[in-house]
Amino acid sequence: MRKLTIILTGICLIASVALSPAMAAEVVVGAVTPLTGKLAVYGQGFQQAMLLALDEVNASGGINGNPMKILFEDNTSTSKGSVSAIQKLITINKFPVIFGPAASSNFLAVCPIAQQNKTILIGAESAAAAISKCGSYVFRVFPSDLLQGKGVAELVQYLGYKKLLLTYVNNDWGVGLAEVFKKQFLEDGGQLLDEFSYDEGKTDYRSEILRIKKASPKAVVNLTYIKEGATMLKQAYETRLDVQWIMGSAAKSPKLIELSGEASEGVIGTYPTFSQDTPQYKAYKAAWEKKYPGKKTPIFGEYNYDMVKLTAKALRKTTSMSVDDIRNALINASKGFIGATGDKTFDANGDVGATYGRWTVKGGSIGDYK
Measure CA 370 to chain center.
Answer: 26
Stretch that binds other proteins, among 122-130, 216-224, 253-261, 309-317 (CB under 8 A): 253-261
Closest C-alpha among 238, 193, 199 to residue 220:
193
Determine if 14 is a binding residue for other proteins (CB under 8 A).
no
The single residue among 95, 99, 107, 198 that binds other proteins, judged by CB under 8 A, is: 198
Determine if 214 is a binding residue for other proteins (CB under 8 A).
yes
Q: How far is the CB of 259 from other proteins (least distance, A)?
A: 6
Measure CA 91 to chain center.
Answer: 26
Choice between 196 and 292, CB closer to other proteins: 196
Determine if 193 is a binding residue for other proteins (CB under 8 A).
no
Stretch that binds other proteins, among 114-122, 225-233, 324-332, 352-360 (CB under 8 A): 225-233
Stretch that binds other proteins, among 83-91, 182-190, 191-199, 279-287 (CB under 8 A): 191-199
Asked if 221 and 121 count as a contact pair (C-beta separation under 8 A), the reply is: no
Burial 1-16 (b: 16+ CB within 10 A, else e): eeeeeeeeeeeeeeee
Determine if 206 is a binding residue for other proteins (CB under 8 A).
yes
Name the strand (E) or helix (H) holding 333. Answer: helix 323-334
Stretch that binds other proteins, among 35-43, 54-62, 64-72, 224-232 (CB under 8 A): 224-232
Q: What is the DSSP string of 281-303?
A: HHHHHHHHHHHSTTPPPPTTHHH
Determine if 365 is a binding residue for other proteins (CB under 8 A).
no
Determine if 203 is a binding residue for other proteins (CB under 8 A).
yes
Q: How far is the CB of 264 from other proteins (least distance, A)?
A: 9
Determine if 230 is a binding residue for other proteins (CB under 8 A).
yes
Q: How far is the CB of 262 from other proteins (least distance, A)?
A: 7
Report the distance separating Cα 38 and Cα 131, nearest Å.
22
The single residue among 84, 115, 170, 328 that binds other proteins, judged by CB under 8 A, is: 170
Name the strand (E) or helix (H) holding 338. Answer: strand 338-339
Q: State which amino acid sits at residue 11.
A: I
Q: CA 335, 337, 343, 345 torsion: positive or negative?
A: negative
Determine if 197 is a binding residue for other proteins (CB under 8 A).
yes
Determine if 179 is a binding residue for other proteins (CB under 8 A).
no
Q: How far is the CB of 162 from other proteins (least distance, A)?
A: 24
Q: How far is the CB of 362 from other proteins (least distance, A)?
A: 17
Choice between 28 and 175, CB closer to other proteins: 175
Report the distance separating Cα 88 and Cα 86, nearest Å.
5
Residue 204 CA: distances (Å) to CA of 112, 257, 261: 38, 18, 17
Determine if 363 is a binding residue for other proteins (CB under 8 A).
no
Determine if 245 is a binding residue for other proteins (CB under 8 A).
no
Measure CA 86 to chain center.
Answer: 19
Q: Name residues whose C-beta falls within 8 Å of residue 292's C-beta, 6 or more positions apart in sequence.
A: 48, 52
Task: Give CA torsion, residues 186, 189, 190, 195, to 10 deg.
Answer: 30
Stretch that binds other proteins, among 97-105, 157-165, 196-204, 306-314 (CB under 8 A): 196-204
Determine if 273 is a binding residue for other proteins (CB under 8 A).
no
Binding site for other proteins (CB under 8 A): 170, 196-199, 201-208, 210-211, 214, 226-227, 230-231, 234, 237-240, 255, 258-263
